[in-house]
Amino acid sequence: MSSTPLKVAVTGAAGQIGYSLLFRLASGALLGADRPIELRLLEITPALKALEGVVMELDDCAFPTLAGVEIGDDANTIFDGVNLALLVGARPRSKGMERGDLLSANGAIFTAQGKALNEVAADDVRIGVTGNPANTNALIAMTNAPDIPKERFSALTRLDHNRAISQLAAKTGAAVTDIKKMTIWGNHSATQYPDVFHAEVGGRNAAEVVGDQGWIENDFIPTVAKRGAAIIEARGSSSAASAASATIDAARDWLLGSASDDWVSMAVASDGSYGVPEGLISSFPVTTKDGSWEIVQGLDIDDFSRSKIDASVAELAEERDAVTELGLI
Ligand code: NAD
Ligand code: LMR
């Protein structure tokens, strides 16, 4: 394994996700205990002081895998030579807001960051977008970085994927490790479609194991799709540690590969697979290997799943039209 540090940029590093994410990245959760990483942390100017405090705490952990930390408020400086950019920094929604309400507030952040990555990131850069509305923010960054191949951009639906696994495990009494081939389709929003019809529990079809279409439609799907809102309601602020954990799961599997008997959910630029219009950043079942992903092909989509996928994709198309109108892409 290379001993050259992987340069990892994190935006919004002084925020609540950052406070969990940075320590896990620095402790080796991304690439293991043998590969050092260098953190490049971007914040807005007023948050730099708080970020200095977080860096003091990182120092105090004396992490063996942390090769260096640089902080700043200039994207061109912080993104210089980065191999992985985790774009977290954006305003979270508060009670009563839908993620779509964040389109104009957060979209502009991603035009500037897409341009900066295009200018200065390493040739092998991979970009994962966690900040909401994640799919459309990834579309904005991708469109503003014409020299970076489109397949290097993804938006986070791994948190939804993990939530779906956890709900299915609780329902069936299985361990989370017995659940394979979960899929989140579409947008990281309340329209997302968590699909158990292709998932497996202990090697058996999950929908058959559950044997209860009512639970799938009226309990499982809304619980997963509205989990973000339930956490905001309970905690008073949006999910942070679980979002950081999923951000790492997604980046780790992207760089190191998914398990041979499984797949993961990632929102990536559609190539037209499963009728999703080309170019939209939509969540699919993907396998990953050596920093590349491939959409799992050939799954049968019945009428129920078709209508759910179509509804979420229609919302993505509306978001794309809205940010086009705002002049962001
Ligand atoms: P937070 O408000 O605690 O932190 C966001 C940070 O981003 C702040 O420190 C802010 O100063 C910084 N920031 C704002 N504009 C910036 C810019 N232009 N450049 C760099 N930094 C900037 O929010 P949080 O709870 O950490 O959440 C961050 C984002 O992640 C939100 O949009 C939230 O909705 C989203 N989120 C996504 C998922 C997911 O599964 N995709 C899950 C949870 C949260
Ligand atoms: C989540 O899914 O927890 C985040 O996207 C936060 C939100 O706004 O729901």
Q: Which of 73, 78, 88 to mutate to test the pocket of ligand 1 (most atoms within 8 A of CB)?
A: 88
- The reply to whether 214 and 313 lie within a common domain is yes
- Catalytic: 161? no
- Phi, psi for residue 299 in degrees, rounded to 5: -75, 140
The verdict on 299 and 192 lying in the same domain is yes
Residue 329 covered by a domain: no
Q: Whose CA is nearest to atom 1 of ligand 2?
A: 228
* Of 126, 155, 184, the domain-final residue: 155
CB-based contacts of 113, cutoff 8 Å, min separation 6:
11, 42, 75, 79, 85, 87, 141
CA-to-CA distance for 288 and 259, rounded, in angstroms? 8
Q: What is the pLDDT of residue 94?
A: 80
**295 closest CA partner among 258, 261, 259, 270:** 270
* Ligand 1 near 47 CB (within 6 A): yes
184 & 57 share domain: no
Question: In this structure, which ligand is nearest to the CA of 98?
Answer: 2
Do 10 and 96 lie in one domain? The reply is yes
* Residues with Cβ within 8 Å of residue 183, at least 6 apart in sequence: 161, 194, 195, 198, 199, 263, 265, 283, 284, 285, 299
Q: Are residues 22 and 124 in the same domain?
A: yes
Is 15 within a domain? yes
Q: What pTM was computed for the model?
A: 0.97
Q: Which of 22, 39, 43 to mutate to test the pocket of ligand 1 (most atoms within 8 A of CB)?
A: 43
Note whether 65 and 149 are same-domain residues: yes
Give the domain-ending residue among 100, 121, 155: 155
- Strands 292-295, 281-289: parallel, antiparallel or unpaired by DSSP? antiparallel
Residue 142 lies in a domain: yes
Sheet of strand 200-201: strand arrangement: 179-180, 200-201, 204-205
The protein residue whose alpha carbon is closest to atom 4 in ligand 2 is 228
Question: Catalytic: which of 158, 188, 308, 320?
Answer: 188
As for ligand 2, residues whose beta carbon falls within 6 Å of it are 92-93, 99, 132, 159, 228-229, 231, 238-239, 243
Q: Report the amino acid identity of residue 34.
A: D
49 belongs to a structural domain? yes
Q: Which of these three, 113, 137, 155, is where a domain ends?
A: 155
What pLDDT, on the 0 to 100 scale, is given for residue 1?
52
Q: Which atom of ligand 2 is nearest to the CA of 134?
A: 5
Backbone angles phi, psi at 298, to 5 degrees: 85, 10
Q: CA-to-CA distance for 194 and 185, rounded, in angstroms?
A: 6
Q: Are residues 192 and 271 in the same domain?
A: yes
327: in domain: no
Q: Are residues 176 and 306 in the same domain?
A: yes
* Domain containing residue 205: CATH number: 3.90.110.10
Do 276 and 139 fall within a single domain?
no
Going residue by residue through the chain (329 aa), what tens digit of pLDDT does each one get?
568 999 999 999 999 999 999 999 999 999 998 999 999 999 999 999 999 999 999 999 999 999 999 999 999 999 999 999 999 999 888 888 877 778 888 888 999 999 999 999 999 999 999 999 999 999 999 999 999 999 999 999 999 999 999 999 999 999 999 999 999 999 999 999 999 999 999 999 999 999 999 999 999 999 999 999 999 999 999 999 999 999 999 999 999 999 999 999 999 999 999 999 999 999 999 999 999 999 999 999 999 999 999 999 999 999 999 999 988 99
Q: 20: domain CATH number?
A: 3.40.50.720
Known binding residues: 12-18, 93, 99, 106, 113, 130-132, 163
Q: Is 138 helix (H, G, I), strand (E, B) or coil?
A: helix
Domain count, the chain: 2
**CA–CA separation, 142 vs 176, rounded Å?**
33
In a domain, 265, yes or no: yes
Say if residue 16 is in the same domain as residue 85. yes
pLDDT score of 144: 97
* Residues paired with residue 194 on neighbouring β-strands, in sequence order: 184
DSSP state of 59: H
ipTM of the complex: 0.99
Q: Are residues 128 and 238 both part of a single domain?
A: no
Regarding the beta carbon of 42 and ligand 1, being less than 6 Å apart is answered yes
User: Do 43 and 139 reside in the same domain of the chain?
Assistant: yes
Which structural domain range is residue 217 located in?
Answer: 158-319
Q: Looking at the domain assignment, is residue 324 inside a domain?
A: no
Does the residue 71 lie in any domain?
Answer: yes
Tell me what pLDDT residue 281 has: 98
238 CA closest ligand 2 atom index: 6
